[in-house]
Amino acid sequence: MLYLELFLQGLLQGSIYALIAVGLTLVYGLLRILHVAHAGLYTLGGYFGVLVYNSSGSLMLSGVVAMFGVGILGVIIYRLCYEAILDQPPFVPLIASIGLFIAMEELYRILFGSYGISYANPPLQQMLPLGGMYLREGEWVTILVSIILIGGLAWLSSHTRLGLAWRATVTDPQMAESFGIDPIRVRYFNFFIGSALAGTAGMIVGILNNLVEPTMGSVPSYKALAIIVLGGLGSVRGTLVAALALGVVESFGTIYLGNVLNRDAIAFVFLILVLMVRPQGMFRGI
C-alpha cells in the first residue's frame, strides 16, 4: 500500500509538472527558446486564483481569470520580450528570460509581500476516498484537470485546422508559410495555450498548498527545464512521460535517498544520469 500511495503521490506531482512543462516545451518546439520566465506566469496564475477567489468567492471565476489572464500575458511577453531577439544566439533569449523571471519574482514580492497569501476559505480541502485511496478533493481535481487539459490539447492539435497549422509550423515554418499559415498567429496561439496551462497549474498548487508566495515558481521553473530536456526538448509526448516519471522518481527518492540528497537534487541527478546515457533526452521528435 505504501508503494501504491507513493506512486500516486508521484503521479499527482508529475501531473502538476506536466501542466507547467508542456507550455515550456511548446515554446521550445516552435522557437528554440528556453522560456524560464514561464514559471513567473505560473506564479501569477497562483496570485490571480487566490486574489479573485478571496474577493469574489467564486472558484469558477478565479479559474477563468487565472487561465485567460495568464494566457494573454504570455502572448504579451512574447511580443515585448522575445520577438526582437529570436535570431540571436540561443544564450541571449535564455539569459533574457532568466532576467525576466527574476524581475517578475521580485515584483510579486514587492507588490504582494514576501510572506504569501492564503485562501480565506480554503476550497477543495475535504478528504475524498475513491477506490480505496484517500486524497483531498483538490488532489483529485488536479488529476482530473490535468487529464482534461492535456487531453484537450492533444485533441486540438490533431483534430482542428488550428492544430494542423500549429504542427505544420513546428515541423517546418517555411513550408507552413507557403501553405498560407501565418506563423506569427501560431506563435501567439502557442504562447497563449502554454501560459494558460501554467496559470492553471499555479492556481491549483496555490489551492493545494493553501499558500501563494512570490518564490513558488523558483523550483518548478528549473525542474520544468529539466523535464523538457529529459523529454527530448520540444517533444510534447516526451515531456508528459518525463514529467510523470520525475514525479514518481522524486516521490520514491525522497523516501529512500532523503538523507543523502534533497528532493531537488534527486531530480537533477536523474537528469544528468539520463543525459549522459542519452544526450538528446529520452525522446526525440514530436
Partner 1 sequence: MGYEISLLTFMGISIIGSLSLNLITGFCGQVSLGHVAFVGIGAYTASILTKADTPFFVALLAGMLLAGSFGVMVGLASLRVRHDFLAITTMGVNFVFLGVVRQQEWLGGELGVSSIPDPGLGKLGFLALVLGCVILVALLSLQIRRSWMGYVFEAVSGDEDTARMLGLDVSRYKLIAFALGTALAGLSGGLYAHHVRFIFPDSFAFVESITLLAMVVIGGNGSILGVIVASALLSVLPQWFQFIGDYKLLLYGSLLFIVMRFSPGGLAGLAKNIFPKSKKAFALKGNQ
**3-state DSSP call for residue 134?**
strand
Given 8, 51, 162, 261, the residue binding partner 1 (CB under 8 A): 261
Q: What minimum distance in Å lies between the beta carbon of 175 and partner 1?
A: 24
Q: Is 284 one of the binding residues for partner 1 (CB under 8 A)?
A: no
- Read off the C-alpha cell for 67: 487561465
- What is the H or E stretch that residue 128 is in? strand 127-130
* Cα angle: 72, vertex 24, 241; to 5 degrees: 130
Alpha-carbon dihedral sign for residues 107, 42, 87, 162: negative
The answer to whether the CB of 19 falls within 8 A of the CB of 197 is yes
Q: For the CB of residue 92, give the shortest distance to partner 1 in the complex, in Å.
A: 5
Rounded to 5 degrees, φ, ψ at 40 are -65, -35
Residue 160 CB, nearest distance to partner 1 (Å)?
30
User: Closest CB to partner 1 among 76 and 103?
Assistant: 103
- What would the x/- binding string for partner 1 be over residues 71 to 90, using CB under 8 A? ----------x--xx--xxx
- 271 counts as binding partner 1 under rule CB under 8 A: yes
Separation between Cα atoms, residue 72 and residue 53, nearest integer Å: 20
Nearest alpha carbon to residue 136 among 59, 30, 207: 207
Tell whether residue 106 is a contact of partner 1 (CB under 8 A): yes
- Closest CB to partner 1 among residues 33, 145: 33
Q: What is the nearest approach in angstroms of partner 1 to the Cβ of residue 266?
A: 7
Q: Judged by CB under 8 A, does residue 262 bind partner 1?
A: yes
Where residue 175 falls (left for φ over 0; alpha for ψ -120 to 50; beta otherwise) is alpha
What's the rounded Cα separation, in Å, for the pair 191 and 202?
16
Site string for partner 1, 216-235 (x = CB under 8 A): ------x--xx--x---x--
Residue 32 in contact with partner 1, rule: CB under 8 A: yes
Q: Does residue 256 touch partner 1 according to CB under 8 A?
A: no
Chain positions contacting partner 1, by CB under 8 A: 28, 32, 34, 81, 84-85, 88-107, 110, 222, 225-226, 229, 233, 259-262, 264-269, 271-272, 275-276, 279-281
